[in-house]
Homo-oligomer: A and B are copies of this chain.
Amino acid sequence: MPVRLIESEALFARAARVVPGGIYGHQSPALLVAGAYPSFFARGRGSHVWDADGNEYIDYMCSYGPIVLGHNHPVVEEAVAAQAREGNCFNGPTARFVELAERLVAITPWADWTVFAKNGSDVCTWATEVARAATGRKVIVKARGAYHGTHAWCSPFPGGTTAEDHANVREVPWNDLAALDAAIAAVADGVASIILTPFRHDAFHDSELPAPGYLEGVRARCDRHGIVFILDDVRAGFRLHLGGSGEHFGVRPDLSCYCKAIANGHPLAACVGRESLRSAAQDVFFTGSYFTSAVPHAAALACLDELDRSDGLPRMAALGTRLCRGLEAAGRSHGFDVVTSGPPALPFMSFRDDPGQTSNRLFCAAAVERGVYFHPHHNWFLSAAHTDADIDRTLAVADEAFAIVAATRR
């Protein structure tokens, strides 16, 4: 057991007794590098987090996306505390519900309405059901390997799912309009929906931007065949464009799903949609004990305000670009051909010709041991709280980490 992770490992040992797998889902230690990564956290401020042993990290995962302004952002937390003093969870919504729905409609050029939920999974699955209600069709087309949540129709793992759960789902390769045409043609009764992320950000894979014309081609096919175009903007939303990542890439879907960055870590998901789908949206029952709770709505209003006011999006893009160019240069200086991929605000780095991302695991383990929290298999996230000093320190650590990887190759 590494000395720096004693408390984290002790907590994990306790967790393993009372939680199946100790920690489950995307945060499972099985998806990281055993012995290098802390499993438990204690504190966060801005772009830095502290694990259960008090080790400090520059945080490039941002809680897998939600922390877009930095941990414990004072403007958001002040809005949260003010709302909490009045109350949070009632027999109906508060004015914050209306204000946030109006805000999302106002900032999304093509959207006419909004609904709120708690998980990205909630809104992605609900959007497919709205598409079914609107079209009277069953089949959902998605990109192979794309993650849209844990519901049985799209879960990345087969455990507990049935053939019937997958009966109305078709998968196509990303960036392949010919395959999409073939998939559409093969469904005699018509496709209800195509659901896509704005760029390919599958775990264990370099990110891939949409090829020129790809998203526009999807849009054209949806229009031609009466298919509902769902943009799953859960992961990228509010890091590329406040009007949705479709605006960044030049495409306008019919439904767009948000979660993560919407409220800087407070639990909220949302789906925005077009007028033509309002009636179908009313027909698909959607509710939860906390869907109308006011504190996350207050957090989201403050978060969107602050992102806008502080030029957080261009800052993330600029810092992410500096990070990527710096990593490429540092890698080159140690003889590596490193690949950075994805938009700079959600970058990923890998080593070319690195089966099993083995070198990347070594690199990331060396980085996290030196206080820089990257992920070897999942895209990273910048926040508006990251600084040039963070990037400087990160690149210094990266230089050491590349040296360690180089040493193992000798």
User: Which A residues are within 8 Å of any B CB, using their own CB?
Assistant: 11, 14-15, 17-21, 23-27, 38-44, 49, 52, 59, 61, 63-67, 71-72, 77, 80-81, 84-95, 97-98, 101-102, 104-105, 112-115, 117-122, 125-126, 128-130, 132-133, 138, 150-152, 155-157, 159-162, 164-165, 167-168, 234, 259-260, 265-267, 269, 273, 278-293, 296, 373
Knowing A87-B72, A119-B290, A164-B164, the reply to whether A92 touches B38 (Cβ < 8 A) is yes
In-complex Cβ contact of A87 among B41, B281, B285 (8 A): B41
A17: chain B residues within 8 A (beta carbon): 113
Least distance between A39 CB and chain B CB atoms (Å)? 5
B286 engages A150 (CB within 8 Å): yes
A152: chain B residues within 8 A (beta carbon): 125, 129
Least distance between A340 CB and chain B CB atoms (Å)? 21
In-complex Cβ contact of A49 among B72, B91, B98, B292 (8 A): B91
Q: Which residue of B lies closest to A119 (CB)?
A: B288
Interface centre among A87, A90, A121, A288, by most B CB within 10 Å? A90
A38: chain B residues within 8 A (beta carbon): 92
A-B contact pairs, 21 of them (CB 8 A): A15-B97, A18-B113, A23-B93, A25-B287, A27-B91, A27-B93, A39-B92, A40-B92, A41-B90, A41-B94, A43-B86, A52-B94, A59-B91, A72-B87, A81-B81, A117-B119, A119-B119, A126-B150, A164-B168, A267-B289, A267-B296
Q: How many copies does the complex hold?
A: 2
CA distance A285 to B27 in the complex (A): 11
A138: chain B residues within 8 A (beta carbon): 162, 164
CA distance A52 to B125 in the complex (A): 32
In-complex Cβ contact of A159 among B52, B85, B162, B283 (8 A): B283
Least distance between A314 CB and chain B CB atoms (Å)? 24
A157: chain B residues within 8 A (beta carbon): 283-285
In-complex Cβ contact of A63 among B63, B65, B67, B89 (8 A): B89
Knowing A11-B95, A288-B119, the reply to whether A89 touches B265 (Cβ < 8 A) is yes
B66 engages A289 (CB within 8 Å): yes
10 closest A-B pairs (Cβ-Cβ)?
Answer: A25-B287, A129-B160, A159-B283, A89-B265, A41-B90, A160-B284, A20-B281, A44-B87, A267-B290, A118-B118
